[in-house]
Amino acid sequence: MGKLGRLAINSEGFIFDPETGNSYTINKTGLFILNLLKEEKKTEEIIEKLTEEYDIDREEAMRDITDFIEQLRLFGLINAEEYND
Amino acid sequence: MKQRYEKPTIFKLHTGLMNKFGSFAYPLSRRVRTEIDSIPIKELIEQFGTPLFVFSEKKLRQKFKEIKNAFTTRYPNVEFTWSYKTNYLDAICAILHNEGETAEVVSEFEYEKARRLGVPGEQIIFNGPYKPKKILKTAITEGARINIDTFEEINDLEEVAESIGIKPKVGIRLNMDTGIHPQWSRFGFNLESGQALDAIKRISYGKHLELSGLHCHIGTFILEPKAYETEIKKMVEFAYRIEDEFGFKIEYIDIGGGFPSRSKLKGIYLPPEIAIPSINEIADRISSALLSSLRPGDFPKLIIESGRAIVDEAGYLITQIHATKRLPDGRKGYILDAGVNTLFTAFWYHFNIEIDKNITGPSEPCILYGPLCMNIDVVDDLAYLPPLPRGTNLILSPVGAYNVTQWMQFIRYRPNVILIGKNGEIDLIREMENIEDIVRREHLPERLTLRKEQ
């Protein structure tokens, strides 16, 4: 699971990274995806769950998940090699 | 029942830092615009596509009336002349001529465009540093008012005037120090150095021209009303010196334009409502300066060449998000279907950005790119927008000034321009270009024709 397991995440969307001391705020959809990533779900599964839960089509979901993972990577919350299935 | 979707976002929290970008960067601030003059944006896009320039006749007339009232309630003899270069679309010019504006042109093309629209020669003011003899001849014959820019132009005018046997009334353009930086010194004759006086002597000595006006244009997007006061005082003082020493009666004082519009000029952090003086404040300074320096009973015509201040806020551009991109520094990038080819003023302004529908989610810093395969194609390098899906339309404003004249046919075709009339009429006033418009003037030599496949 790598770095994600070490993050302190509350249900309001507040994230604390004990390694760097940085904190983040995340919205509901972001939290939904982050939790699935923590469970080591594959991108394909996340897309499926997101489209089941929310009013969103497959294409946009896929685009947004890619972008979200890219952001986590840029913040150093996941490693470059992770989650690029 | 599925939950309403909001794009996933994550932000790093910063504590103790000031937000220097003011209210427009506040993460929850956003503006939605679903219509222009009560016409739904959706309807306009369905009919005309994007990108799409939209002009509001109502707004255009309203802005003109504001400026007209500001000056005519303070000075008895004012002429408003439409600065063609700001926007010379026929429909826009026709509305302003209908409101009573004359035409201010700076080239043979603009002169011909005004004449073609039906503006008589005597209602044209001809400015600019390059006026070939051929068009000077037409202008003199048709009675246009010409403001001279160089000593060479004095020679040219005398030669043309003599050849057709007319002694035309002319003005000269001055440049001067009004406390504005940068000082515009490349147009006209400098007042402080004595160059302007030399020009008057030269005209007086030549005897072919009748000097009747002074023109000056101190700069563009002038934020300091006091500069106009200085301009007026210097012009009036000079006008009386000319009358007293050379016997020419100065009938008009043309103070140019340069009045700012409410746009966010790059490099100015204050919001436009605070940084930009009102037109009433500017008019007040100008009229008081005139009335306090003119001799009793003398009211030369005050000519106002406003362009931007009238048309800028009457123009909108609807542009669509074609793709998104996450940049290595974490910022979001959007690729729009309109870029600097369409929006020349993107080099100077941060536009107001409105979204065509309500989108939830916190605003994030983003860059707006145009569609060109060119690194310079950036519409805004720092905007704060919520996460926007592909296909979202943005409404950028004010874009009415200098865009539909300085736009480039570069890489893409120039888009449709429509006008929403005062009674809600929707008219296409410039049709989107196609390949024929662009290749019509090209000639491929026969020997270079590509051989057709047999």
Over residues B391-436, the pLDDT tens digits come to 999 999 999 999 999 999 999 999 999 999 999 999 999 999 999 9
Question: Does the beta carbon of A67 lie under 8 angstroms from any beta carbon of chain B?
Answer: yes
Lowest mean pLDDT among B127-131, B219-223, B312-316, B417-421: B219-223
SS3 content of chain A, % helix, strand, coil (to 5): 50, 10, 35
Under CATH, what is the fold of the domain B22-54+313-431? Lyase, Ornithine Decarboxylase; Chain A, domain 1 (2.40.37)
Q: What is the pLDDT of residues B158-216, one digit of tens each?
A: 999 999 999 999 999 999 998 887 778 889 999 999 999 999 999 999 999 999 999 99
Lowest mean pLDDT among A60-64, B14-18, B380-384: B14-18
Give chain A positions within 8 Å (CB) of B390. 60, 63
Q: What is the pLDDT of residues B20-68, one digit of tens each?
A: 444 444 444 568 999 999 999 999 999 999 999 999 999 999 999 999 9
CB-based contacts of B305, cutoff 8 Å, min separation 6: B81, B83, B104, B125, B217, B254, B255, B256, B257
Q: Are A27 and B389 in contact (CB < 8 Å)?
A: no
Closest to A29 (Cβ–Cβ): which among B5, B13, B324? B5
Min distance A44 CA to chain B CA atoms (Å): 16
pTM above 0.90, yes or no: no
Q: Are A22 and B4 in contact (CB < 8 Å)?
A: no
- Best probe of the B interface among A14, A16, A23, A27, by most B CBs < 10 A, is A27
* Domain ranges across chain B: 22-54+313-431, 58-310
Q: What is the token pair recorded at B353?
A: 């950005």
Q: What is the pLDDT of residues B63-95, one digit of tens each?
A: 999 999 999 999 999 999 999 999 999 999 999
CA-wise closest residue to B315 among B279, B263, B361, B268: B263
Question: Does the beta carbon of A57 lie under 8 angstroms from any beta carbon of chain B?
Answer: no
Give chain A positions within 8 Å (CB) of B13. 22-25
Question: Does the beta carbon of A32 lie under 8 angstroms from any beta carbon of chain B?
Answer: yes
pLDDT at B297: 93
List strand residue ranges (DSSP E) for chain A, in order: 8-9, 14-16, 23-26
**CB of B79 within 8 A of CB of B254?**
no
Please state the rounded mean pLDDT for residues B262-273: 71
Q: Are strands B124-126 and B332-336 parallel, antiparallel or unpaired?
A: unpaired
**Is B58-310 in the same CATH topology as B22-54+313-431?**
no
d(CA B97, CA B93): 6
- Evaluate whether the domain defined by B58-310 bears CATH number 3.20.20.10: yes
Instruction: Please give the mean pLDDT across all residues of chain B.
Output: 92
ipTM higher than threshold 0.85: yes
The residues pairing with B264 across neighbouring beta strands, listed in sequence order, are B350
Q: Are A28 and B6 in contact (CB < 8 Å)?
A: yes
Q: Is the pLDDT of residue A85 over 70?
A: no
Distance of CA B253 to the CA centre of its chain: 22
Please state the rounded mean pLDDT for residues B96-108: 98
The Cβ of residue B363 has, within 10 Å, a number of other Cβ atoms equal to: 20
The single-letter code of the amino acid at B139 is A
